[in-house]
Structure 1
Amino acid sequence: MSLAYEQLRQVTPLAGVVLADNPSAMTLDGTNTWLLRDEPSRRQAVVVDPGPDDDRHLSSVLQAAGSVPLILLTHGHADHSEGARRLHELTGAPVLALDPAHRYGAEGLAEGAVLDGAGVQIQVWATPGHTADSLSFVIPGQVPGEGHTVAVLTGDTILGRGSTVVAHPDGVLADYLDSLRRLATLDGVAVLPGHGPELADAGTAARGYLAHREQRLAQVRQALAQGGPELSAMDVVRRVYADVDPVLWPAAEWSVKAQLAYLRAEGF
């Protein structure tokens, strides 16, 4: 699939995406800004993760959305949240986030909340681990009487490809594993991620992430057994993440620090 930056691409009947032109090793193709509404023809949409504070991107989002009743953040990392304040100023829409530092014109957003906007119902799941404030937004079936879930917006908790960083010390591996186990219950539910392409099955993706994390933990245990407890986090990165592009090693070091904290808590 060729990339089309700053253009609306309809992914499901309820969700379209505008891909920000900010590709990097950390953002993959760029940040996905999601627009939620009950039908594509509605000139109103809930915006999830406005992305960078970039005039071209925010203009593209506004053109695609029409009016904006709500702005939601999956977490506070700048590639997702930086444009939120400006979008709030342009639209008057409240910005809802778990972290008070990223809220504008709104009260708190908490686990279990149910939001309504642009004809779409949105359930809030706390899914910490990548960061302490990470949320996922669950979109149930919109036909009255149907209780199934049709999609989940995962931010950086599950990406469209590759694996995510546990951003130690804010991110905690034990929390992340618990969040993945929760998302693993969503079999057959589409993943609308913060970066990368959409995925067909959240349950399959989450179980794959869990297996990957267990493999990395086993490799870290082995590195410590061979090199001794005096190994630094970067020493472990060099041993365990040798298959990863070195440009990503600083990010891998965050995850290794989270892994080491997890193993220490286990008494390793």
Structure 2
Amino acid sequence: MSGSPLVGERAAHPAYGVLRQVTPTAAVLLADNPSPMTLDGTNTWVLRAPDTEACVVVDPGPLDEAHLARVAACGPVAAVLLTHGHPDHAEGARRFGELVGAPVRALDPALRLGSEGLAGGDVVAEAGLAIRVLATPGHTADSLCFLIDHDGPPSVLTGDTVLGRGSTVVAHPDGQLADYLESLRVLADLAPGTAVLPGHGPELADAGEAARGYLAHREQRLAQVRAAVASLGGAPTPRQVVELVYADVDRVLWPAAEWSVRAQLEYLREQS
């Protein structure tokens, strides 16, 4: 789940149903689930080393049989990895794992199919790749990123931690702003030229640059929230803050913005 508006009219996106090679080791299938919260839809990533038959699938997406069948056709599938448990990324994971006979690995035990989980510091050795797991909580408590460094420029699959367009919701209370800021610092320290392969939106050229931009945006929002709290008398409701700080944002996104404001208010209380 992201936090940015869908751009353009609701129409068949040219990428729906088409496997697009993005890097030598990563291809993407766009799920047909566009919305204000998912942009053009969820990016399902198919990972494999060149000349390797088996693949790793990241975020099978919603429970959409047509989409899952298209992803399954990219197999054989050695493993399914989840960046986090929001339904637009994970709802179809169990069905997909059963369809292709592969384990589903996630930080949250409730999302797994099979006994093996995932945690920061793990390395998933499948499909000719060594996929390094980064713990990146903040958007949600269970958010993970996956770093690939294989015979060329590295790339990182970021789920909803960094999007290809717009900014991300901190899904309070599960998501915590302090955690999110630290996760952005982790991404900001990745090697220059590490490509971002996001859960929504287009790929980005440099994870460090993107993460630093997100950090600057969060600092700007925190300053706006501080000013709003002061102008509203010191104890406003999150909705009152949203109406001031997010006045230029489409109102359909205000409920999601309220999650982030709750996270910001809690963060400011903890810092005071």
**Counterpart position of 2:262:** 257
Alignment of 1:22-171 (within 5 A): 22-39=33-50, 42-63=52-73, 65-140=74-149, 142-143=150-151, 150-171=154-175
TM-score (norm. length: structure 1)? 0.94
- CA offsets, 1:40-97, max 9 Å, x none? x54321000000111110011012x220000000000000001110111111111000
Whether contact under 8 Å (2:137, 2:143) holds in the other structure is yes
Structure 2 counterpart of 1:183: 187
Contiguous gaps of at least 5 residues in structure 2:
1-12
Cross-structure match for 2:200 = 195
Distance 1:96 1:149, change over 3 A: farther
Superposed structure 1 runs of 4+ greater than 4 Å apart: none
Unaligned runs of 5+ in 1: none
How many pairs are equivalent?
A: 259
TM-score if structure 2 supplies the norm length?
A: 0.93
- Per-residue CA deviations over 1:134-164 (Å, capped at 9, x if unaligned) read 0000001x24xxxx86100000000000000
1:69 counterpart SS class: strand
Contact 2:134/2:144 (CA < 8 Å) preserved in 1?
A: yes
Equivalent-residue separation in structure 1 for 2:147 and 2:14 (angstroms): 26
User: Is contact 1:138-1:149 (8 Å) kept?
Assistant: no
- State the shift of 1:110 in Å: 1.1
Higher relative contact order (CA 8 A, sep 6+): 2
The whole-number CA distance in structure 2 between the counterparts of 1:135 and 1:165 is 15
**1:242 aligned partner, one-letter code:** A
- State the identity as a percent: 68
**CA separation in 2, counterparts of 1:154 and 1:194?**
6
Contact 2:52 2:128 (8 Å CA) reproduced: no
SS of the residue aligned with 2:202?
Answer: coil
Range moving further from structure 2, 181-190 or 153-162: 181-190
